[in-house]
Amino acid sequence: MGPSVGLVLLFYFIPVILTFLIAFTDMGRTLIWRFIGLDNFARLFGVGSRDPLIPRILLNTIVYTLGALPLTIVGGLLIAVLSMRMRPSAGLFFRSVFFIPRAIPPVVWGFLWAWSFEGTRYGLFNAILAALGLPTVQWLIRYPMIIVILANGFLGISLAMLVFSAAIATIPQELTRAAEVDGASEGQVIRYVILPMLKWPILTMTAWHLMSFLNSYVYIMLITGGGPYYATEVWSLYAYHAAFTQYRYGYGASLVVLLVVVNVVLFLIILKAFGMQRMLTRGKIEV
């Protein structure tokens, strides 16, 4: 286990420790460490020299997460349930189609969305509008947040669909057949038999994608770059820009540290609210 532990220490724990240390400095382009205490965090909370963009960034992060999360979970669940109730060949085809975004490299997926919503007549949707004799639309200016939510939501759907489909395949067929014999309709079988059996996969995917959307910024950076005028700038992307575009490494590190703390708190809340401890507890056999 030595090489594996060494790699984890070198590329995970040491960078995390350095990030926490840098958050208490004013490190900039010169890479000089000068300890400034809690000044970076005070600026985040509006104490002293406040950052006027923080309220906008925080609102964008909340809207983005709360928009993409339901789309991912509900969309993945809907596709999984419907495709698993089809003929096997048809269900496999639809699941394969919706899994394509997961197989596409992030850069390709991001630029496909950027090209599709290009504001000129060369964009996919504007080309369709032009063929219909309709005026073009500046999609990335008028609806930037909706576009990045859809791009990330459809990407998340593929993973959620895969997990839900695998969970549905493990449900004993005797349960669904018994319900059908008792006169249950297709909708009733899904509602009263299949969905209750998917409790833990649904909770797991909800927790997974909640953390994922809070920390994701790659596709937003590729599609909109956080614009226009910070309209899609989320917390993680703002930290990236602060550190690697504006070279304010200390301030960028403080943004990341606060994001890590929020992730830990949310994870503990999810563990408590969802009762995941019961899922991890070993079963007891009563004699």
CA distance linking residue 261 with residue 60, whole number of Å: 19
CB 236 within 8 A of CB 243: no
Domain-located, residue 176:
yes
38 inside domain:
no
| Residue-wise pLDDT tens digits, 73-107 | 999 999 998 888 888 888 888 888 888 888 889 89
Structure token digits, residue 149: 């939510």
CB 81 within 8 A of CB 190: yes
Say if residues 117 and 139 touch (Cβ distance below 8 Å): yes
> Please, which pLDDT band fits residue 276 given cuts at 50, 70 and 90?
low
Residue 211 domain-assigned (yes or no):
yes
Rounded CA separation 99/101 (Å): 6
Kindly state whether residue 120 falls inside one of the protein's structural domains: yes
The three-class DSSP label of residue 184 is coil
Provide the number of structural domains found in the chain.
1
DSSP of 218-270: HHHHHHTTT-STTTT--HHHHHHHHHHTS--HHHHHHHHHHHHHHHHHHHHHH
Task: Assign residue 220 the CATH number of its domain.
Answer: 1.10.3720.10
Band of pLDDT at residue 191, cut at 50, 70 and 90: confident
Query: Tell me, what's the pLDDT at 108?
Result: 92
Query: Which tens digit of pLDDT belongs to each residue from 204-229?
Result: 898 889 989 999 899 999 999 998 88
Q: Is residue 275 part of a domain?
A: no
- Is residue 157 domain-resident? yes
Q: Is residue 28 part of a domain?
A: no
pLDDT of residue 287: 41
- What domain range is 109 assigned to? 61-232
Quickly list H helices, the chain: 2-8, 14-22, 39-44, 54-84, 88-103, 106-116, 124-131, 139-142, 144-169, 173-181, 186-189, 195-197, 199-215, 218-223, 235-244, 249-274, 276-280
Q: How far is CA 122 from the centre of its chain?
A: 29
- What pLDDT is attached to residue 279? 57
pTM across the whole model: 0.87
Cα gap 108→46, rounded to integer Å: 39
Is 134 a member of any domain? yes
Least confident of 171-180, 262-271, 275-284: 275-284
Query: DSSP of 107-126, one letter per residue?
Result: HHHHHHHHHHT-SSTTSHHH
Question: Average pLDDT over the chain, rounded to whole?
Answer: 88
Share of the chain above pLDDT 70, in %: 95
Read off the pLDDT of residues 35-69 as tens digits, 9 standing for 90 and up: 998 999 998 887 777 889 999 999 999 999 999 99
- Give mean pLDDT, residues 115-126: 90
